[in-house]
Each structure stands twice: as C-alpha cells, then as structure tokens.
C-alpha cells in the first residue's frame, strides 16, 4: 500500500499541475471507466509540426486515475503526435513508478486511452482497450 500511495501520487492528486481545460484546442476527448465512474477529459494544442505545445486534463476519480493523468499530460509536452500515438501501458506505468493490480490498472490507463483516442481522432464508439494494451 505504501508503495501504491507513494508521495508522488498523493502529491499530484492533491496538487495537480496540469488540471484544466484548453479553449481553443486542436483535439479533445473524454471517456469514463464504467466500473468505477472515473472520468477524464484531455485537451491538447499542437504546433505546425504536430508537436504538443500545451495540454490539460479535467475530470474526477481516484488518486491513481487523476495522478496518472497529471503525469501523462506533463510527459507529452514537447512530444510529437506520432510519439503520443506510440505511447504504451508500460510507458505510463514507468511514469507512475508503481505496480498495479488489474482493477487499479484500469484507473491508471484511462488517461492514456483518452489521450490516444483523441490523438488518433477516434469517434466515441471507436475507443477500445486495444489502445492501451
């Protein structure tokens, strides 16, 4: 448990750095985790070279879902859209620095799923867990 709630996660949950909404944005996407009601929206701005210049997230949920979104959004600043599309589950877990069981893994991966769905320009019905396998 101590590991799961390492200081970084509690800190990012209580003092998020990238919480908010961007208007205008180049893409936005939102989705829920149906098992627990976690909700994440991401808004992203890119420059002419498709490099992320600004990004933010909003929503509600547990510390794992919200802290992982905060860390992920920080991480993608300066990355290209192709790099964002190529992000994997392992990349996100490395950012979090913890091991998660199957239920909490869904909390952690929601932000990545939402981000990638937005980056690919998917429709609401096209989102699948394949994005974060």
Partner 1 sequence: MSTTDHMIAAFDVQKIRADFPILSREVHPAVPLIYLDSTATSQKPLQVIAAMDEFYRYSNANIHRGIHVLAEESTAAYESARERIAAFIGAATPREVIFTRNTTESINLVTQSWGRANLNLGDMVVLTEMEHHSNLVPWQMLAQERSLRLEFIPVTGDGLLDLDEYARLLRLEPKMVAFTHMSNVLGTINPAAEIIRMAHEVGALTLVDGAQSVPHLPVDVQALDADFVAFSAHKMLGPSGIGILYGRKALLEAMPPFLGGGDMIKRVELRSFQSNALPYKFEAGTPAIAEAIGFGAAVDYLANLGMEAVERHERQIITYALERLEEIPGVKVFGPAAEQRGGVASFTLPEAHAHDISQILDADGIAVRAGHHCAMPLHTKFGIPATARASFYVYNTLEEVDRLVDGIYKVKKLFS
Range in contact with partner 1 (rule: CB under 8 A) among 18-26, 62-70, 109-117, 119-127: 62-70
Range in contact with partner 1 (rule: CB under 8 A) among 32-40, 47-55, 72-80, 85-93: 32-40
- Is residue 30 within 8 A of residue 40, CB to CB? The reply is yes
For partner 1, give the closer residue by CB, 52 or 61.
61
**6 near partner 1, rule: CB under 8 A:** no
Q: Which tokens go with 3?
A: 């590991």
Please, what is the minimum distance in Å from the beta carbon of residue 104 to partner 1? 7
**14 near partner 1, rule: CB under 8 A:** yes
Burial state string for 1-30 with b = 16 or more CB within 10 A and e = fewer than 16:
eeeeeeeebeebbeebebeeebeebbbbbb
- State whether the Cα torsion 120-46-72-89 is positive or negative: positive
**80 near partner 1, rule: CB under 8 A:** no
For partner 1, give the closer residue by CB, 10 or 53.
10
For partner 1, give the closer residue by CB, 5 or 27.
5
β-bridge mates for residue 40, sequence order: 31, 59
């Amino acid at each position: 448990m101590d590991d799961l709630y390492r200081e970084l996660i509690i800190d990012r949950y209580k003092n998020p750095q990238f919480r908010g909404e961007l208007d205008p944005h180049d893409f936005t996407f939102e989705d829920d985790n149906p098992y627990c009601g976690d909700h994440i929206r991401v808004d992203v701005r890119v420059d002419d070279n498709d490099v992320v210049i600004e990004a933010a997230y909003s929503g509600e949920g547990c510390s794992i879902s919200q802290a992982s979104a905060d860390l992920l959004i920080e991480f993608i600043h300066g990355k290209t859209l192709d790099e964002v599309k190529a992000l994997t589950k392992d990349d996100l877990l490395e950012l979090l620095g913890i091991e998660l069981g199957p239920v909490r893994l869904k909390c952690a991966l929601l932000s990545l799923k939402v981000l990638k769905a937005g980056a690919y320009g998917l429709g609401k019905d096209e989102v699948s867990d394949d994005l974060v396998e």
